[in-house]
Every structure is written in C-alpha cells, then in structure tokens.
Amino acid sequence: MGKTYIDTVKYVVHTDLEIDGIVEKPDVVGAIFGQTEGLLGDELDLRELQKSGRIGRIEVNINTKSGKSIGEIVLPSSLDRVETAILSAALETVDRVGPCEAKIKVKTIEDTRTVKRDQVVNRAKFLLKGMMSEIMPERKEISELVREEVKLADVQAYGPEKLAAGPNIDDADHLIVVEGRADVLTMLKADIRNVICLQGKVVPKTVMELSHKKTMTVFVDGDRGGDLIIKQLADCAEIDFVAKAPDGKEVEELMGKEILMAL
C-alpha cells in the first residue's frame, strides 16, 4: 500500500474532473493508476512514486448531477517542477473511468513554497509594523526610570516587625507614618525617605517607640479607613501632626506634588 502522506510537499496539482456516468472515488483512483502505468517509465510510475513517498495520496472529490460525476482531483508532489508538470500532463491522458468516458483537465499547479513565502512576508510586515509602533523612551524618560528604580531599591525592612521603610529612619528627627508598603514606595518616588508603614491593623511596637523619640506625622488615605488609623495611633502613640490624602483618594495614588500639598 502506498504512503498517504509525504514529508515535504513542493507542489499541489489541482484538476477538473468530468465523467459521463456515476462512479465512486476508488473507481477514479483505479483508472488513474491503471491508465498511467508504464506510460512514463519506472521512474515516474505513480505506484512507485507513492510507495517511496515522492507523491502523496490522490484525493478525489466528486458530486453527481444529471447522471454525471463532476469534481476535482488533488495530487501533492515532492518531485521537481519538470517531473510534476509531466505527471500532471499524464493525468490528462485518463479518458475512461470504468465504462464511462472521462475528461481530466489540469487547473493549477500550486507552488506551496510560494504560498509559504507570501505568508512569511505578510507576517513579517505585521510584526515589523508592531515593532515600529512601539515608542522608544526618550533619554530623559530612561533617566527618570532609572532614578525611580534606585529610589525603590532604598526600601528597607525596619525593626523586629520588618516594617517597610525608607533609608532615613534612624537619621531623621521627623518621621512620616503611612499605612502600607505601597504607600512607602509612593513616598520614595517623591524623594521622601523618612517614611515608615504600619503594615497591618495593629500598631507595631517599633512605631510606638519611635513616636516617643521623634516628631511624627501620620499620613493616611482620604477615607473612613484613614480616620480609624488616626484614632488607633492616637490611643497608643504620640502623634504630632496628621495629614490626609484628598477625599476619596489613597496615598499610593498620589503624585509628588499632591503629596507635598497634603503634608
């Protein structure tokens, strides 16, 4: 039995098929093998070519109408251009299928590599367009990105509770207490380095102790949660100043100018 597939398809032969009678697909395939046998010599014998995987399975699509069978034949080939053309011409010599007269006419010989090249070109155009649409950051923007990354790298874990904090906690006389780590990062982006966070609902012992040693400002979100934090801190720590984000805003959402205005 011949191979039903081939590793590399170079060409695909498409033919029209018209038969004066009603036949089945195996009848057409049998007629093709039978009537081309010995026509082109052993090197281009269809059976041998299929066994060696140089041509693929012959596909036949047929519809019957008014006592006739009309359709197409599709033959994949890994032969070279000349051999494929010869084989295509040989298909047109088949003039009978069983007792019925038949006519086979080659429509196209499709070069699959051309199709693939077109696909590659079109895909490459799309990818290139996407690359060109990406705006490269200006030198100034790159510098700002680097500066921000350096600032964020200054976050430290302070005290036994490992609270997120800026690098100036020990050196500064005045500290700013915020709610969480994200707030600390926002403050560092604004070049405010004497900041430490509560990092939870319970006021950390470290913050309580610092409040007795340094001037302390509490900076909270502009919502009811912020009010509760202020009340909680006031019960167990010494607060010198209170600052709030604008109504409905969180500290981590603020830009540098908004932070300075709130403080």
Q: Is the pLDDT of residue 3 over 60?
A: no
The pLDDT score that the predictor gives to residue 148 is 67
Q: Is the pLDDT of residue 50 over 60?
A: yes
Contacts of 86-90 with C-beta under 8 Å, sequence gap 24+, read 86/40, 86/44, 87/13, 87/40, 87/44, 87/46, 87/49, 87/55, 88/13, 88/15, 90/36, 90/39, 90/40, 90/44
Q: For the residues 205-211, what does the mean pLDDT come to?
A: 94
Q: For the residues 91-108, what does the mean pLDDT come to?
A: 94
User: What is the rounded CA–CA span in Å between residue 260 and residue 263?
Assistant: 5
Q: With left for phi above 0 and alpha for psi between -120 and 50, is residue 220 left, alpha or beta? A: beta
Q: For the residues 168-181, what does the mean pLDDT come to?
A: 93
Q: For the residues 135-144, what does the mean pLDDT come to?
A: 62
Q: For the residues 167-195, what does the mean pLDDT come to?
A: 92
The pLDDT score that the predictor gives to residue 154 is 78
The pLDDT score that the predictor gives to residue 126 is 87
Neighbours of 107 (CB within 10 A): 12
Q: By three-state DSSP, how is residue 233 classified? A: helix
Question: What mean pLDDT, rounded, does the chain reach?
Answer: 88
Q: For the residues 83-111, what does the mean pLDDT come to?
A: 94
Q: By three-state DSSP, how is residue 4 classified? A: coil
Q: Is the pLDDT of residue 4 over 60?
A: no
Indicate the burial class of 43 (C-beta count within 10 angstroms; 0-12, 13-18, 19 or more).
exposed
Whether the Cβ atoms of residue 16 and residue 30 lie closer than 8 Å to each other: no
- Angle, helices 181-189 vs 139-152, to 10°: value is 140
Contacts of 213-217 with C-beta under 8 Å, sequence gap 24+, read 214/172, 214/173, 214/174, 214/175, 215/173, 215/174, 215/175, 215/240, 215/241, 216/174, 216/175, 216/176, 216/177, 216/240, 216/241, 217/174, 217/175, 217/176, 217/177, 217/241, 217/242, 217/243, 217/263
pTM over 0.85: no
- pLDDT category of residue 2 using cuts at 50, 70 and 90: very low
The pLDDT score that the predictor gives to residue 121 is 87
The pLDDT score that the predictor gives to residue 30 is 94
Q: By three-state DSSP, how is residue 17 classified? A: strand
Looking at the chain, the whole-number percentage of residues with pLDDT higher than 90 is 63
Type of residue at 42: D
Q: Is the pLDDT of residue 190 over 60?
A: yes
Q: Which helix (H) or strand (E) holds 100?
A: strand 100-111
Higher-confidence position of 214 and 201? 214
Structure tokens at 48: 């041998």
Q: Is the pLDDT of residue 215 over 70?
A: yes
Least confidently predicted of 148-157, 168-177, 193-202, 253-262: 148-157
pLDDT per residue over 225-242, tens digit each? 889 999 999 999 999 999
Domains of the chain in start order, with CATH, are: 11-111 (3.30.70.380), 139-262 (3.40.1360.10)
Strand partners, 164: 157
pLDDT per residue over 112-129, tens digit each? 888 888 888 889 888 888
